[in-house]
Amino acid sequence: MTQLLDKLLEGYDKRLRPDFGQGPLIIKADILIRSMGPVSERDMIYSMDCYFRQLWTDERLAFNVSLANVSLNIKMLERIWSPDTIVYNGQESFLHEITMPNKFFRINKDGTILYSQRLTIKARCLMQLQKFPMDLQQCPLHLISFGYTENEVLYKWRFGAERAVDVNAGMTLSQFDLTDMPAWNGTTVFREALHSMLSVNFHLKRHMGFFLLQVYVPCTLLVVVSWVSFWIHREATSDRIALGTTTVLSMTFLGLDNRTYLPKVSYSTALDVYVAMCYVFVLATLIQFAAVHYFTKYDSGEENIQQDPTDTEESEEEKMVISEVLIQRTQLKKKKKSKLSFCSWNWYLRMFWYCLSGTRNFHIKTFGNKYHALNSVSQIDIVSRRLFPLVFLILSVSYWVCYLY
């Protein structure tokens, strides 16, 4: 075998490509992807670990022996011609060299050479993030010859465009699904000359689970929490201001935090739109209280409280509770006691129930004018309790329909 190799290399000039002066040399290639990721939106690059295989025929290395092919040490590559293939849109790609350079080299007896390398490729991927995080990205990979034009070296996919790229069984990505890998042959202008090019597009569909848990759900909950102020008494100024300020600051933090890992693009993403919408609702809740406070006379009630004409009927039990309260109040004034002992626990339970479910007339008759002065509800709050959730629901449905379909 040593004599055979020495004989093959006699007079061999590795500076000249095979079929020099006889038309372009055809190089067939294919890719086996072992793993893929990470995909960086901030730097707009993706990486993958793959086997890159190239096949070409060099008739100067044909031999006539019984062996169909011979696998040789990679040192042999230094003595023969090999393609100068590069990743046209590559960044910091490298060859694996632990524990030895991960290369495979085999020569068939007709001079066909199979050359395989294990590479980690980092390539540019110009992402369109208008629908982030509901986006579908197309990340290309382009392979060309560095020094040979289309008239000298012609690239083709080894098994055709349909089987150009294969993927290891069980390969998964943390944030994406690899949905498709269309491949084709083409040409491109490189260093003022036309070069043959192999191309493949990786279609990546993003997973939304992380962003639902980290952004969408917290923002929605903050909006819902801000609506609690509609049920807080309008004269509890400090409580409502504290709730409104807390929700506004929390929304501000979420809005700034979600931009940390994104590029500084000039347009807004779908995530920005949702965060901005939630921020507007939280801020509107604070402004709503300012309107409520403006139309409220502090610690003033209505002197003349009229019975609600719609509440004309009272149950017998309500009448009995009202009578008991009035009697006990009269006795308390006569005895001038600071504490009042009622009949039984049943009375306490009935009283508690009717405080919650009794009609407006029941409260007025039982507690007098103090009821309305201490528990009056602004009409703005009453309208906001229905208007804010309804508008938010309509906008949320419109948002998801717009960006998902």
For residue 372, what pLDDT band results from cuts at 50, 70 and 90?
very low
Q: Please give the mean pLDDT across all residues of the chain.
A: 84
Q: Which residues contact 90 (CB under 8 A, 6 or more apart)?
A: 121, 122, 123, 124
176-180 and 193-206 strand pairing:
antiparallel
**Taking the alpha carbons of 129, 132, 134, 140 in that order, is the dihedral positive or negative?**
positive
Same domain, 50 and 125: yes
In a domain? residue 271: yes
> What pLDDT is attached to residue 337?
43
Same domain, 98 and 160: yes
Same domain, 273 and 146: no
Of 219, 213, 272, 267, nearest to 392 (Cα)?
219
Name 51's bridge partners: 32, 118
Same domain, 90 and 104: yes
In a domain? residue 123: yes
CATH of the domain at 62: 2.70.170.10
User: At residue 210, does pLDDT exceed 60?
Assistant: yes
Average pLDDT over residues 11-20: 90
User: At residue 25, does pLDDT exceed 50?
Assistant: yes
Same domain, 268 and 136: no
Same domain, 255 and 398: yes
Same domain, 89 and 216: no
Give the separation between CA 244 and CA 291, rounded to whole angstroms: 14
User: At residue 345, does pLDDT exceed 90?
Assistant: no
Percent of the chain with pLDDT over 90: 56
Q: Which residues contact 249 (CB under 8 A, 6 or more apart)?
A: none
Question: Of 143, 175, 206, which residue constitutes the final position of a domain?
Answer: 206
For residue 303, what pLDDT band results from cuts at 50, 70 and 90?
very low
In a domain? residue 369: no
User: At residue 328, does pLDDT exceed 90?
Assistant: no
Average pLDDT over residues 255-264: 79
Name 186's bridge partners: 197
Q: How many domains does the chain have?
A: 2
User: At residue 373, does pLDDT exceed 70?
Assistant: no
> What pLDDT is attached to residue 374?
46
Same domain, 202 and 254: no
What pLDDT digit, counting tens, does each position of 130-182 carry?
999 999 999 999 999 999 999 999 999 999 999 999 999 889 998 899 999 99
Same domain, 63 and 195: yes
In a domain? residue 229: yes
In a domain? residue 148: yes
> What pLDDT is attached to residue 10?
87
Same domain, 86 and 226: no
Same domain, 213 and 199: no
Residue range(s) defining the domain that contains residue 240: 208-301+374-404
Cβ atoms within 10 Å of 301's Cβ, excluding its own: 14
CATH of the domain at 239: 1.20.58.390
Question: Of 180, 206, 232, which residue constitutes the final position of a domain?
Answer: 206
Of 13, 21, 25, nearest to 148 (Cα)?
25
Question: Of 152, 182, 206, which residue constitutes the final position of a domain?
Answer: 206
pTM over 0.85: no
Same domain, 126 and 228: no
In a domain? residue 260: yes
